[in-house]
Structure 1
Amino acid sequence: MITSTLVSYRLAASDLDTTLQRVSEQSIVSREVEYYLENIGDVKSIDDFLGDSRLFSFAMKAHGLEDMNYAKAFMRKVLEEGIDSDDSFANSLTDNRYADFAKTFDFKSFDAATTSFTKTQQGTVDKYVRQTLEEQAGADNEGVRLALYFERKAEGIDTFYEILADPALAQVVRTTLGLPDAVATIDIDKQVEMISDRLDLETFRDPDALSELLNRFAALWDVNRGLDQASNSLIGLFGGTGQVGISQDLLLQISQLRR
């Protein structure tokens, strides 16, 4: 029996703490969490961090960067330059996941003490469990994953340009507003104008308004695609198992950093 996106999303979101607890108790998740918490405190340098592929992969997945596990030279540059300078490597990238990663694992500022903070320990575990929940939801119904992802990111959205820079966020907004996917090909300023005429950014900071928006998205997702298609994986939105697809510019930068 196929469950609608709206029902599935409401079930997952209605008691999110309980849903996350169930995910954390899954054997494969609990094993990875246990290994991470037991070993991350022993990491005292970027070399230590990149040298333990299991720890590094856990942290990357927690930040939605799992598809970039292979790009260690790229991530080394992210970590070595940190985030203090406006023109640091992480801050120069349009995808703010890299700056978030560098902020969490701020070896540049804190050196050997970096992994002693809550954000690198339990904070990273919490992100890992949430990412796992969203991925598992997407395996059954990509619309549910999109809704959960948007819910997680919503409070930090300050401009419509941030939405359009993220294919998954943009898909939620277009679906909710009844805009065709072809809109993504027009001038970005015109897209912002089109969306801002129909949507207020304050909606994302009002829990009730956000819930109403995501309920509408979930209902329209099934209407637009049909229940038989609602669980199809949209590889272009999440880049496989990660958050966002890798751009050609980013791939070029990675190739230049390989060692």
Structure 2
Amino acid sequence: MSTTTSTYLSIENNLARYQTMIANEPAVKTATEYYAANIGKVTSISDLVGNYRLLSYALTAYGLGDQVDNKALVTQVLEGGVSSSKALANTLANPNWAKFAAAFNFAANGASSISTASAISTTESAYDEQALEGQQGQQDVGVQLALYFQRVAPTITSSYNVLGDENLLEAFQTIFGVTLNTYGSIDTNASIVSKLMPMSDLTDPTKLKQLTERFTAQYTLLYGPGGQDASTPLSVTSSGTTTGNLNAATSIMSGILSGNSSYSGSSTAELLSGALLTSLQSLSLGG
């Protein structure tokens, strides 16, 4: 049986072929053809927001497909553009809003900018990637998350972006075996992300690949070969060895944050990985 890691690697090593296959899927092809034929007719923000099929395609391409009915928010984001740090797109927690507003930058570049050959091609490619990830997620959510992490992580600029993106957050927590909401404020959580996963690691192809493969390995350990719906929590008792071992990661994190010298000489990643492995060895893993 294939594992999350083997499936992810198969796709990553043959990405162009998979992208071509997904682009030729009937539903994807029909949506893309409609978008390419009609986006040039858009002359204003209201034109885009008022066309459900165009707006759905555009939002889906940037990971915001579930916002298609939130027309007021979409309008405000597009009207504000991205030039100012105070623009709505730049202040929303989900970094995809800023990417969407930059791609459909009516405010700075006018309506014609969204229908150039380059702009259409960029949006189509982004849509295909989303479709590929969604398709893989129907079989193994871990593969979907791995592809998403590999694609999106290099584009973020702050540890706060990880906290604002539930997919990146899940990947991070799986890689390092932590649950951030147990550690207090958003600033504390952002500090944890920075310590364990520096932003510079995400723009280093080798380190990013290592992180992604580590995610798939941990995901397979947690959910078994073939994975499962990531929304289904592990069944962990409130007492006994399992809980104690899971709490080892929490204890290590507390030491890291307090500067406990007993953790010096080892990387935080190594410490947490060891604690997580110990806990995993006590679990009855799904399969």
Q: TM-score, normalised by structure 1?
A: 0.82
Contact 2:95 2:164 in 1 (8 A): no
Aligned twin of 2:132: 133
Contact 2:159 2:191 in 1 (8 A): no
Aligned twin of 1:153: 152
Aligned twin of 1:206: 204
Find the aligned partners of 2:71 and 2:81 in 1 and give their Cα distance.
15
Q: CA deviation at 1:72?
A: 1.0
Aligned twin of 1:17: 16
- Please tell me the residue identity of whatever aligns with 1:177: F
Aligned twin of 1:244: none
Structure 1 or 2, whichever has the larger Rg, is 2
Q: CA deviation at 1:212?
A: 1.7
Structure 2 regions of 5+ residues with no counterpart?
Answer: 234-287
Structure 1 regions of 5+ residues with no counterpart?
Answer: 237-259
The answer to whether 1:231 aligns with 2:228 is yes
Q: CA deviation at 1:197?
A: 3.8
From 182, 199, 218, the counterpart of 1:220: 218
Q: CA deviation at 1:43?
A: 1.1
Aligned twin of 1:239: none
Count of matched residue positions in the alignment of Structure 1 and Structure 2? 232
Q: Deviations over 1:228-252 (max 9, x none)?
A: 7x2215399xxxxxxxxxxxxxxxx
Q: CA deviation at 1:116?
A: 3.1
Q: Pick closer, same or farther for the CA change 1:112–1:199 going to 2, 3 Å.
A: closer
The answer to whether 1:185 aligns with 2:182 is yes
Find the aligned partners of 1:37 and 1:83 in 2 and give their Cα distance.
24
Q: CA deviation at 1:37?
A: 0.7
Contact 1:5 1:221 in 2 (8 A): yes
Percentage of matched positions with identical amino acids? 32
Q: CA deviation at 1:195?
A: 4.0
Taking CA–CA contacts closer than 8 Å with sequence separation of 6 or more, which of the two structures ends up with the larger relative contact order?
1
- Please tell me the residue identity of whatever aligns with 2:54: L
Aligned twin of 2:143: 144
- Please tell me the residue identity of whatever aligns with 1:54: R
Find the aligned partners of 2:89 and 2:188 in 1 and give their Cα distance.
28
Cα RMSD of the aligned pairs, angstroms, is 2.1
Stretch of structure 1 that moved more, 200-209 or 143-152? 200-209
Find the aligned partners of 2:158 and 2:84 in 1 and give their Cα distance.
22
Q: TM-score, normalised by structure 2?
A: 0.74
Aligned to 1:102, the other structure's residue is in SS state: helix
- Pairing 1:37-186 to 2, within 5 Å after superposition: 37-179=36-178, 181=179, 183-186=180-183
Q: CA deviation at 1:3?
A: 2.0
